[in-house]
Structure 1
């Protein structure tokens, strides 16, 4: 089958953890590879302001493999918000592209891609279009609800309601996301399929901690608390820093031999160098939150900021660390927690969104019901003080992570299409 995958605001070839790249980039990259492995031909479309591979430039074409081609649509947008204002232009570029016109199935990721896909159909005015599946990854109304803010643009909120009503298939990562699609966007429950994201088990698997630390230049006698991802309010980066500061107040001896590594960059800003300077976060002056975060990092001697790294290095951080912390205020799934679990690293995670699907409290990690740094510091102290408990949680996490498989992810989506698409549509298009 000829499949078009839309990942317009961020390229799957970009480095996760910087700019607007994160778990969604990994999801798109790995699910596309799984589609190709299943025998499908895939055209991936992006308009990432950072370029096709995060290096800048538009209008490029990158041949990922014999069956996967990555296309960069030439749009003059420098940010994700500017891209959202250019959706009609994106839709026309898609219509004009022979790869998109040849698609028998379209899978859109995030609301910008889904809205562009729907508008492309509106502009083309065709009576029959290929079935459209949508993975939201995050839902604006849910982010506002979970963070107790109203930061999401009305344009996004309105578009997501339309997407929920008009897409042929909505792909939820977890039952919790399915409930959110129904309650927040009034989606038809029969249009939703649950397809849990996967993990690359060939890469993310347990290995010797000492060897990983040696490769990363980390000492054997430190306790390492790891945070992975973009630095932003919704990800709870402030909670990570404040909990380590609280640990210093409650247990100075343990804190003196603990290193907190923040592996990532400011959201929307490409990563700079390793930082332990007066301004540890590149671009951190852009908001009061980031200014306060920079001050907190500078004041806590145990915290070190490191730039995001490719997957083959990231796995060594998982193996080298003692605890992963995922203090997100909203999280549709939490791919970092799943990768860490597969690598044998137990997580302390927020009890929000899809994270309880990955972290089973007291069995494969710990869940925290709020974002009070004192409670997070208590959990960190508990795990760092009990090596046997950490090992037990890590072993159970590896077992639990076996359920996450990219082949099963794409199979669940493809298997759900015939039931979601109106009768006769797939046959008219020659699909299935």
Structure 2
């Protein structure tokens, strides 16, 4: 890649105030954002760039600096109590975090600062301006007002709606993970289309792969001896993810055809009530015997669980992209997803899976039954899904990010 500034090797600082790249996705407030940032950071470091990820210390045990790979460090900054905070508790620590970030960057500067989520952006904005560092902003999710009828994530703290709009106006570059997110940034936040860039996500196609010959044989033997098909739903146990819809849908399938449902993920720090409601719902629907709540899994275990599944469900009310859909595709597993947000781009309807427009559990039950009853169609979708995933890599995603940085740094240098 050709770049226009003096040194092609960049010093990049990612800012992740409220969640750590060291956290297991599906636990705490860790999710797709954590996977994306870490994967892009690792790809940048492999290319010879120096990357630091700044996050808040959430426990007493974490070392000040953790080296993940040559050229890649996680830096823990002290801001607020050294304990896990609910998401809504992070807004009051933004100023203290920004002060620690400023001190760190004065000692060891970066060429570009890339904030992830609005907490990070508001904390980093004054630092970037004071030290004349270009600020890149990624939102990963964009809140909708409490009174809005539009589906989406409600603001967890008072400043979010105004904070996101401010960042859309003032950050030097806005990175979206899908065309759907780009449209939302422009329409809802007032972002300048000239400063919004879509950087497609990648997927680890070696970790997320189809079943090997032995694994496939074990699955076929399971079916031959009367074993149930398994549908999988993955994510933090948060109402936005729509796991209640998955339970209702599976419950509507006649018992003799009903697949087992496995829900992989743990509640965020303030999400125990929804997790409890899901267990109660499964009991009320009479499907406890065929439903498993597996908690969060490490990436290697999640990859194994996905490739052993028959179908993956993504019933989220909205997603900026829906990374698990691409991970399922890489595993050769068809996906049934809600036709919302970036999921319309993550799933190729009727090719790598199905998109469901209705909220009605009966529509979801029909889609599940339809695919489970047509193994040949499922196999064709799985093959198409794998082929699609092979066109996406984290190295390519990082190259797109570098191209975006190059344009920004060139303009910043000229200014």
TM-score by length of 1: 0.85
Cα distance change, pair 167–212 in 1 and its aligned pair in 2 (3 A): farther
Further displaced range: 74-83 or 341-350: 74-83
Q: Is the 8 A contact 1:146 1:329 kept in 2?
A: no
Quick check: 1:307 aligned with 2:299? no
Q: CA-to-partner distance for each residue in 1:390-426, whole Å, 9 max, x for gaps?
A: 1111111111112322112122122123434573x33
The within-5 A match list for 1:82-101 is 82-98=89-105, 101=108
Q: CA-to-partner distance for each residue in 1:319-378, whole Å, 9 max, x for gaps?
A: 111000000001000000000000101000011111111211111100001221111111
Equivalent in the alignment of 1:203: 207
Equivalent in the alignment of 1:140: 143
Equivalent in the alignment of 1:79: 86
Quick check: 1:358 aligned with 2:346? yes
Cα distance change, pair 82–57 in 1 and its aligned pair in 2 (3 A): farther
Further displaced range: 101-110 or 321-330: 101-110
Distance in structure 1 (CA, Å) of the matches to 2:145 and 2:307: 33
Cα distance change, pair 261–357 in 1 and its aligned pair in 2 (3 A): same
Distance in structure 1 (CA, Å) of the matches to 2:189 and 2:141: 12
Q: CA-to-partner distance for each residue in 1:168-219, whole Å, 9 max, x for gaps?
A: 111111111111010000100000111011101121121238627969xx88
Distance in structure 1 (CA, Å) of the matches to 2:215 and 2:164: 46
Task: Give secondary structure in 2 for the equivalent of 1:147.
Answer: coil
The within-5 A match list for 1:21-420 is 21-47=30-56, 49=58, 51=59, 57=61, 60-77=64-81, 78-98=85-105, 101-121=108-128, 125-126=130-131, 129-141=132-144, 146-147=150-151, 150-208=154-212, 211=215, 221-247=227-253, 251-255=254-258, 258-268=259-269, 284=272, 286=273, 289-299=274-284, 300-301=287-288, 302-420=290-408
Cα distance change, pair 210–308 in 1 and its aligned pair in 2 (3 A): farther
Q: CA-to-partner distance for each residue in 1:51-85, whole Å, 9 max, x for gaps?
A: 4xxxx645631111221111111122433222221
TM-score by length of 2: 0.89
Distance in structure 2 (CA, Å) of the matches to 1:184 and 1:214: 49
5+ residue gaps, structure 1: 270-282
Q: Is the 8 A contact 2:231 2:262 kept in 1?
A: yes
Q: Is the 8 A contact 2:145 2:154 kept in 1?
A: no
5+ residue gaps, structure 2: 1-9
Q: Is the 8 A contact 2:145 2:155 kept in 1?
A: no
Distance in structure 2 (CA, Å) of the matches to 1:167 and 1:151: 20
Further displaced range: 312-321 or 405-414: 405-414
Q: Is the 8 A contact 2:114 2:136 kept in 1?
A: yes
Distance in structure 2 (CA, Å) of the matches to 1:324 and 1:99: 46
Distance in structure 2 (CA, Å) of the matches to 1:396 and 1:369: 22
Distance in structure 2 (CA, Å) of the matches to 1:422 and 1:80: 36
Give the paired residue count: 396
Task: Give secondary structure in 1 for the equivalent of 2:114.
Answer: strand
Distance in structure 2 (CA, Å) of the matches to 1:408 and 1:138: 22
